[in-house]
Chain A
């Protein structure tokens, strides 16, 4: 697919409307790469002038910070800020709530001040601005439940943009008992994604998947590659792969628009 880099843009003397920050998961994880491509299809469809950093992108350092390594975090942040400011980036869009959170809240003090959007917020804006239209027939009446990623929801108070988009697809949006500010974490946050869980009597992702299954969904929608992994594993662990799909909102749109 056509994905210009900032370096290429600069060589042509162009400044894109947005920088799409792909993130490590979206770049390397096979499941998350599908989300990345779905979002790029949406950007193409809406004629958004965008670019990525490509090989110049590096970890935001978010996960190092949550693991307690403030030094590594700030090193990564300063290096990224140098690159981003070098390209005079004004607007960052990312499909990873953890990158979104750290760019929005923790980078400004370190010299990285950008307008930051989570991809669901950006998609909502595209729809509101009339640049993207949503077909509400393909997924009509499909039973969909939405899992709030902690770093989008509680951490940044964004509960409605993802739900607004989902509703526009004509689906039957079902709320779990624990939702929005009371949503249960998928179990991946705080660097848990990269380590085994401590001793306990259950895995967090299974508990959260059970929350979701109680709504009898056909699709579990979410807006975070890590939540996606955890919920997908939860669906497998509870033997529901045949009937329940875990999809990112970008994928839902790409599917519903046949992109």
Chain B
């Protein structure tokens, strides 16, 4: 009987981690549904970006208040998790504070965790106030209704509860309090338990300990269903991000091939296709569904934590248009999840008469973009909503000829007279004699 808690703990731990691993595998499979793109060049620059942007949070502080608060929560999260290591050992082997043999260093560690836990608690409460009391506009855009709104709040509540439990656990640990070392915060909570019986306090301590670790495991498994995945994916996302100048939009290689053929006077237009290529389906231009996007774009979608910095700087969104770069990412993820579930159910993807275009993202959104790159510049973890918008525009124009009428006229003019307006190319130099 005495090993019951250890066994129970081991089971909870295995189930918790097992589910987590299963979900991570699912995410990786879904991301791999994207097209191939080579982002393995310039390794040193990529590592540097990851170190600066993800690990170093360099882009977070573009907005100092939320940036600094975020860094506190981030550091707290990482450092306090060292304590989880001790909790796991204690849980499995029935020890109590197994690392306390470290003495002064242990006190120093736990003391830092306590201070950080308090700071995290305060920061998370400020986050909640910014969201719910100050109602900062980017948290209240159209797309932030229902689950996306609640998701953000659940995460904040989770963190508040976990941090409180950690402090209560320490405060109710009579032996730990008696040592009076490493308890800079919990010593002020300890008096709350004065007058209670030793058994009651011990029960509180044990409950806090168990709820805390079970809470951590639940939170770990909540990640997959929430926007909070960024705590993991920010790292690969910044590593595999586009390194080119933002103004450089990729040149479609298949188009280059065709254009070169067209411009080559030696090509016989009636020639049979080369051996082996007779039946090859011509590549689809642009993207109408998630599987037409590349895997980095799909990873972007899972990485997005819906902070809305992109949308808050988008000229189209600021002037009341449908387009919201954050929503482009959210819809891409929703569709990708749908495709993933379809595969789970049917073994392989079974046509569901739906696609990313129209069923999720409308042409109206796509045509409102000014390609100004403000969203790309703003994203704290190098997500590129613009590249998705451009792929989908390409599909609309090149596969469906579905550009707005005025743009079709503009393109016809370029074809006919080499300018977006209907002017004679022979008049190109008239300006020099007009003054």
Interface residues, chain A, with chain B CB atoms under 8 Å away = 1, 3, 5, 22, 24, 26-29, 33, 36-37, 40, 52, 54-55, 57-59, 61, 63-72, 74-76, 78-79, 82, 101, 104-106, 109-110, 150-151, 154-157, 181-182, 184-185, 187-204, 207-208
Contact = CB atoms under 8 A, between A and B. Distances in A.
Contacts of B411: 64, 67, 69, 72
Contact of A55 (B249, B425, B435): B425
Contacts of B244: 105
A66 B371 contact: yes
A186 B169 CA distance: 56
A123 to B, nearest CB: 19
Contact of B315 (A109, A151, A204): A204
Contact of A201 (B319, B368, B409, B420): B319
Interface string B401-422: 0011011011100110011110
B434 interface: yes
A202 B320 contact: yes
Given A52-B429, A150-B370, A194 B255 contact: no
Nearest to B244: A105
Contact of A154 (B367, B377, B410): B377
Interface stretch (B151-159, B336-344, B390-398): B390-398
Contact of B367 (A1, A69, A79, A195): A195
Contacts of B194: none
Contacts of A54: 428-429
B51 interface: no
A5 B429 contact: yes
A194 B405 CA distance: 10
Which 3 pairs from chain A and chain B are nearest by CB? A155-B247, A58-B418, A68-B393
A67 B372 contact: no
Interface in B116-158: none
Given A191-B410, A192-B370, A106 B251 contact: yes
A154 B372 contact: yes
Contact of A194 (B62, B246, B407, B428): B407
Contacts of A61: 414
A191 B366 CA distance: 12
